[in-house]
Chains A and B, each alone.
Chain A
Amino acid sequence: MEPSDCTANGVSSVEPTPLSKADIERYSRQLLVPEIGVTGQQRIRDARVLIVGAGGLGCPVALYLAGAGIGTIGIVDYDTVSLDNLHRQIAHPESNAGQSKVESFKRTIKSLNSNINVLTFETTLSSRNSPDIFSQFDIVADCSDNAATRYLVNDACVLLEKVLVSGSGLRWEGQLSVYNYQNGPCYRCLFPIPPNAQLMTNCAESGVVGPIVGLIGSMQALEIIKIAAGLNSSFASKMWMLDGLTGQTRTISLRKRDPSCAVCGENPTVKELIDYEAFCGSSAHDKIEPVHILDAADRIETKDYATCREDREGGQIARDAVLIDTRPPHEFAIAHLPEAISVNSKIGCFYMGIS
Chain B
Amino acid sequence: MDTSSSEVTNIEVRVLFFGKARELAECEETKVMLPSQIQYSALKQLLFQKFFADLESIAQSCIIAVDQSYVQMEELLHLTPSTEIAIIPPLSGG
**What's the Cα separation between A212 and B4 when bound, in Å?**
43
Asked whether any CB of chain A lies closer than 8 Å to the CB of B61, the reply is yes
Is B94 within 8 A of A252, CB to CB? Answer: no
Minimum Cβ distance to chain A for residue B5 (Å): 27
Is B20 within 8 A of A195, CB to CB? Answer: yes
Is B92 within 8 A of A196, CB to CB? Answer: no
Given known A-B contacts A196-B58, A252-B63, A252-B69, A203 and B90 have beta carbons under 8 A apart? no
Is B70 within 8 A of A255, CB to CB? Answer: yes
Is B91 within 8 A of A170, CB to CB? Answer: yes
Asked whether any CB of chain B lies closer than 8 Å to the CB of A288, the reply is no
What chain B residues lie within 8 Å of A150 (beta carbons)?
A: 90, 92
Which residue, B22, B70, B94, has most C-beta atoms of chain A within 10 A? B94
Neighbour of A147 across the interface among B23, B57, B92, CB < 8 A: B92
Asked whether any CB of chain B lies closer than 8 Å to the CB of A227, the reply is no
Is B93 within 8 A of A169, CB to CB? Answer: yes
Is A168 within 8 A of B91, CB to CB? Answer: yes
**What's the Cα separation between A143 and B92 when bound, in Å?**
9
Minimum Cβ distance to chain A for residue B16 (Å): 9
What chain B residues lie within 8 Å of A195 (beta carbons)?
A: 20, 58, 61, 89-90, 92
What chain B residues lie within 8 Å of A147 (beta carbons)?
A: 90, 92
Q: How large is the interface on A (under 10, 10 to 19, 20 to 34, 35 or more residues)?
A: 35 or more
Asked whether any CB of chain B lies closer than 8 Å to the CB of A253, the reply is yes
Identity of the chain B residue whose Cβ is nearest the Cβ of A144 in the assembled complex: B94
**What's the Cα separation between A106 and B93 when bound, in Å?**
23
Is B92 within 8 A of A168, CB to CB? Answer: yes
**What's the Cα separation between A250 and B69 when bound, in Å?**
10
Neighbour of A58 across the interface among B22, B89, B91, B94, CB < 8 A: B94
Asked whether any CB of chain A lies closer than 8 Å to the CB of B68, the reply is yes
Identity of the chain A residue whose Cβ is nearest the Cβ of B71 in the assembled complex: A255
What chain B residues lie within 8 Å of A175 (beta carbons)?
A: 88, 90-91
Identity of the chain A residue whose Cβ is nearest the Cβ of B65 in the assembled complex: A252
Which residue, B23, B60, B91, has most C-beta atoms of chain A within 10 A? B91
Is A173 within 8 A of B63, CB to CB? Answer: no
Can you spell out 23 A-B residue pairs with CB atoms less than 8 angstroms apart? A57-B94, A146-B92, A167-B94, A169-B91, A170-B19, A173-B19, A175-B91, A191-B63, A191-B90, A195-B90, A195-B92, A196-B57, A196-B58, A199-B20, A199-B57, A201-B93, A206-B93, A213-B94, A241-B18, A251-B68, A252-B65, A254-B63, A286-B93
